[in-house]
Amino acid sequence: MLSHKAKYALKALLYLAEQDENHISKTIEIADGANIPKKFLEQILLDLKRGRFVSSKQGKFGGYYLIKSKNDITLAEIHRLFDGAIALLPCASLNFYEPCADCKTESECSLRHGLMIIRDETLRAMQGITIASLVKK
Amino acid sequence: MLSHKAKYALKALLYLAEQDENHISKTIEIADGANIPKKFLEQILLDLKRGRFVSSKQGKFGGYYLIKSKNDITLAEIHRLFDGAIALLPCASLNFYEPCADCKTESECSLRHGLMIIRDETLRAMQGITIASLVKK
DNA sequence: CTAAATCCTAGTTAATCTATAGAATTTACA
DNA sequence: TGTAAATTCTATAGATTAACTAGGATTTAG
């Protein structure tokens, strides 16, 4: 399941993608438009900024805008930024790998192989969902 | 990500699937064999029993055994039993559907369609991973 | 009757998620 | 240069959930 943060991030990006080129959106504008608690959205936009998906203009008449093409922002990236690993266990993860503590003797746990198959399929599917693909609906 | 409960459930089922036909496994045996906290495993086995994956014999010399073919127990089923929906949002779920609270005007939220695609792909992949497929490794 | 197992309910602890509060900083412009 | 309006930063509250743990009730074999 996606966290609210990830869901809100997607909706915020969607909102930004629907604006005119060169338009700068204030937080309150996005919050109202996408129905997201404003103060919570502030944090999310800062995370998106640190992740180089958006940039901001500070001060009066400031706000946020996309700096990455909506064709290049994938569900997979947003999931990883806010909710971490796409794999079902850390030992099957590409970007968040950790060995499992409860697999004693064997070097690979019994679940790892199957979960890596799932990871590959899910990842591929998630990389196919972009902000652009969600907008044109 | 899988919860520990779901992970332990898979490992317990795997353990049971590896035993001889007609063998009955005590909780402590499974706990030691699969490295799972015993008291926690008790609850998990009861859940698996309620889910009709295993059955039990009570009293002295009692224990647990599979009642469903290892070819018919899929990752998707275990995920649903312990971790709920496979979809990334309730509004995109087949078995755990709930409308999203924060999608006001439109009847369908902007994310729903894309997330249903992911759900279909993930579900199909998860239905392909069975206890049997994990054993033979 | 007793030992050994499952079954059941409750509670505990720690972490995490979802938000909110409030002040510091930056900027446009009158 | 002052002020309004925005982002940015840090802390924290409250609720929920996850991961166990405890202890006793029940069942069964011998």
> A91 vs A136, which has greater pLDDT?
A91
- β-partners of residue A66 are A54
Confidence (pLDDT) at A110: 87
Is pLDDT at B134 greater than 70 in this prediction? yes
For the four alpha carbons of A82, B76, A116 and B54, in that order, the dihedral sign comes to positive
Q: With 80 as the cut, is the pLDDT of residue A35 above it?
A: yes
- A90, closest residue in chain B (CA to CA): B1
The pLDDT value recorded for residue B108 is 61
Report whether B16 contacts B66 (CB < 8 A). Answer: yes
Average pLDDT over residues A89-115: 83
Amino acid at site A135 = V
pLDDT for res B107: 47
Mean pLDDT across chain B? 94
- Share above pLDDT 90 across residues of chain B, in percent, rounded to a whole number: 87
What is the pLDDT confidence band of residue A119, given thresholds at 50, 70 and 90?
very high
Nearest CA distance, A3 vs chain B (angstrom):
9
Residue A137 pLDDT level (bands cut at 50, 70, 90): low
Q: Which two tokens stand for residue A79?
A: 């999931």
Quote the crossing angle between the two packed helices A75-83 and A38-50, to the nearest 10°: 110
Nearest CA in chain B to A83: B1
Q: Is the CB of A43 under 7 A from strand D?
A: yes
Q: Which two tokens stand for residue A116?
A: 């890596």
Other Cβ atoms less than 10 A from the Cβ of B65: the count is 15
Contact check, Cβ <8 Å, B117/A111: no
> If you average pLDDT over residues B2-9, what whole number do you get?
97
| Mean pLDDT on A3-32 | 96
pLDDT digits (tens, 9 = 90+) for B107-121: 468 899 999 999 999
Q: How far apart are the first and last CA of chain A?
A: 22
Of A40-49, A102-111, B112-121, which gets the smallest average pLDDT? A102-111
Give the total residue count for chain B: 137
Question: Is residue A109 classed as helix, strand or coil in its secondary structure?
Answer: coil
Nearest residue on chain A to B2, alpha-carbon basis: A88
Question: Which of the residue ranges A11-20, A32-41, B30-39, B107-116 would you say has the lowest mean pLDDT?
Answer: B107-116
Per-residue confidence (pLDDT) for residue A99, from 0 to 100: 87
User: Which domains can be identified in chain B, with CATH numbers?
Assistant: 4-66 (1.10.10.10), 75-129 (no CATH)
Is 90 exceeded by the pLDDT of residue B128? yes
List C-alpha distances in Å: A28 to A17, A45, A61, B97. Answer: 16, 12, 12, 30
Residue A55 sits at φ, ψ, to 5 deg, of -135, 170
| Shortest CA to C1' contact from A57: nucleotide | D7
Higher pLDDT, A38 or A105: A38
Q: Name the β-bridge partners of B54.
A: B66
Please identify which residue in the block is written with the tokens 């369908």: B108
Give distance CA B15 / C1' D27 (Å).
Answer: 25
Q: Percent of chain A scored above 90 by pLDDT?
A: 87
What pLDDT is attached to residue A106? Answer: 53
Strand D proximal to A107 Cβ, under 7 A = no
Q: At what angle do helices B75-83 and B112-128 cross, to 10 degrees?
A: 120
Q: Is the CB of B110 under 7 A from strand D?
A: no
Minimal Cβ distance to A134: which of B11, B110, B124? B110
What is the pLDDT averaged over residues B117-130?
Answer: 98
pLDDT mean over A26-37: 96
- Contact between residue A61 and residue A27 where contact means Cβ atoms under 8 Å apart: no
User: A33 — contact with chain B (CB < 8 Å)?
Assistant: no
pLDDT value, residue B102: 72
Report the distance from CA of residue A104 to the C1' of nucleotide D22 in Å, as an integer: 27
Q: What is the mean pLDDT of residues A19-34?
A: 95
Phi, psi (deg, nearest 5) at residue B92: -110, 10
What whole-number distance in Å separates Cα of residue A80 and Cα of residue A78? 5
Chain A residues inside the 8 Å CB shell of B85: 1
B22 touches chain A (CB under 8 A): no
Nearest by CB to B137, from A1, A103, A113: name it: A113
Give one DSSP letter per residue of B78-94, joined into a string: HHHHHH--SSSSGGG-S
